[in-house]
Amino acid sequence: MSETFQFKLIATDGKARRGIITMPRGEVRTPAFMPVGTAGTVKAMYLDQVRELGSDIILGNVYHLMLRPGAERVARLGGLHDFALWPHPILTDSGGFQVMSLASLRELDETGVRFRSHIDGSKHELTPERSIEIQGLLDSDIQMQLDECIRLPAERAEIERAMEMSLRWAERSAKAFGNQPGKAMFGIVQGGDLIDLRVRSAERLAAMDLKGYAVGGLAVGEPQDVMLATLDETLPVMPTEKPRYLMGVGTPDDILQSVARGIDMFDCVMPTRAGRHGLAYTRFGKVNLKNARHADDPRPLDEASNCPASRDYSRAYLHHLVRSNEALASMLLTWNNLAYYQSLMAGMRAAIEAGGFDNFAAATKAGWARGDLPPYG
């Protein structure tokens, strides 16, 4: 731990980076995967389980928490760490993506965005300053600027307008954040799928000398090759001495390929959402427990895993739980999925330190390509 927010690169292997973020509430080993705790909870998990799997940091969300239970209420109750019994670092998303994807009747201008809640239709306004204020009330350790995230495909003029406004909002967010030595505010690179706009956004944000930088707008349905090409051109412009966060990404393969290009931090609902839909991520690839082939299979998902959900429960039992819509199915498969994601991150960190990232990546991909165990019996 340290009294100030710091990022240190420990090792590099090609473009892959192994680092550590230190701050008053703890350390974050990078590359890091942040489980999504949108409303103050990682769905279907106890937070002590999340910690035991190797999670150093979780994500919370301004949009959801401002609507319910309310940021001021969380502040009165001691902040999000005390409220959720998670004393370790928390990153909060600014709410911009959720306003784009969930809220109705949006009105957006230079000031900010006005919208109706998807919960009860109540009216709200989110500005760069109010987003930072809410994140302060939540007392999160890493705070994100408010940005405008637009759906792709879109016209160049619209992408450029949103990118330029997000830059102005970054300046307003930074001013509202002020000087908080133990915390950080990250700027967000936008620009859609247009490389020249991405580079311009990254250069202008770098000039603001923020404590960290995110790449946003790449989890909105574009193909993986578009995402990777964007990273290939954008990351060289981003400061090497600051952490780099790829927002909302992704599959294990997305993460592996993005680490190879120099990304340090990730978040995604995929492992938790998949767990609630009968899907398990494993070193054999993705396993669909709804399939009848598992009904008589006494083998676990992965006997070599350190996670009890993966190692101890039979596929037949998991299949039964999924087909019966039992709550335990979501709990066990989410536990498995987050365990796999964190083991993947730990493997990459060790491989980068040892100078063997390419071999690790090749072996990991080969395991996915071989596929699941053959049917039982």
CA distances from 274 to 22, 49, 254, 311, 317 (A): 31, 18, 16, 19, 18
Place of tokens 């995929």: 270
Host H or E run for residue 26: strand 26-30
**Which is catalytic among the residues 93, 147, 254, 264?**
93
Contact 318, 294 (CB under 8 A): yes
DSSP 194: -
**79 vs 104, higher pLDDT:** 79
pLDDT at 91: 98
CA distances from 21 to 178, 183, 261, 282 (A): 20, 11, 19, 28
Residue 57 in this model has a pLDDT that exceeds 80: yes
Q: What does the pLDDT look like over 28-55, one tens digit per residue?
A: 999 999 999 989 999 999 999 999 999 9
Q: What does the pLDDT look like over 108-124, one tens digit per residue?
A: 999 999 988 888 999 99
Rounded mean pLDDT, 175-183: 98
The domain limits of the chain are 30-268, 275-370
Residue 222 — pLDDT band, cuts 50, 70, 90? confident
Host H or E run for residue 11: strand 6-13
Residue 220 in this model has a pLDDT that exceeds 90: no
Residue 248 — pLDDT band, cuts 50, 70, 90? very high
pLDDT at 106: 83
**CA 359 – CA 347 distance, rounded (Å):** 11
Instruction: Give the tokens for residue 134.
Output: 């809410």
Residue 367 — pLDDT band, cuts 50, 70, 90? very high
**Which is catalytic among the residues 267, 297, 302, 372?**
267
Contact 216, 149 (CB under 8 A): yes
Q: What does the pLDDT look like over 256-293, one tens digit per residue?
A: 999 999 999 999 999 999 999 999 999 999 999 999 99
Quick count: other Cβ atoms within 10 Å of Cβ 349? 24
Residue 102 in this model has a pLDDT that exceeds 80: no
pLDDT at 168: 98
pLDDT at 361: 98
pLDDT at 153: 87
Percent of the chain with pLDDT over 90: 90
Residue 221 in this model has a pLDDT that exceeds 80: no
pLDDT at 103: 64
Residue 104 — pLDDT band, cuts 50, 70, 90? low
| 3-class secondary-structure state, position 28 | strand
Average pLDDT, the chain: 96
Instruction: Give the tokens for residue 171.
Output: 């300046």
Q: Write the class of the CATH domain 30-268.
A: alpha beta
Residue 217 in this model has a pLDDT that exceeds 80: yes
Residue 1 in this model has a pLDDT that exceeds 80: no
Place of tokens 């991405």: 198
pLDDT at 105: 73
Rounded mean pLDDT, 139-165: 95
**CA 137 – CA 72 distance, rounded (Å):** 6
pLDDT at 2: 86
With a threshold of 0.75, does the pTM exceed it?
A: yes
**CA 350 – CA 100 distance, rounded (Å):** 38
| 3-class secondary-structure state, position 217 | coil
Most trustworthy range by pLDDT among 114-123, 143-152, 167-176: 167-176
**CA 51 – CA 198 distance, rounded (Å):** 35
**CA 115 – CA 102 distance, rounded (Å):** 10
One-letter amino acid at 190 equals Q
CB neighbour class for 370 (10 Å; exposed up to 12, middle 13-18, buried from 19): exposed
Residue 120 falls in the annotated catalytic set = no
Residue 109 falls in the annotated catalytic set = no
pLDDT at 96: 83
**CA 241 – CA 256 distance, rounded (Å):** 21
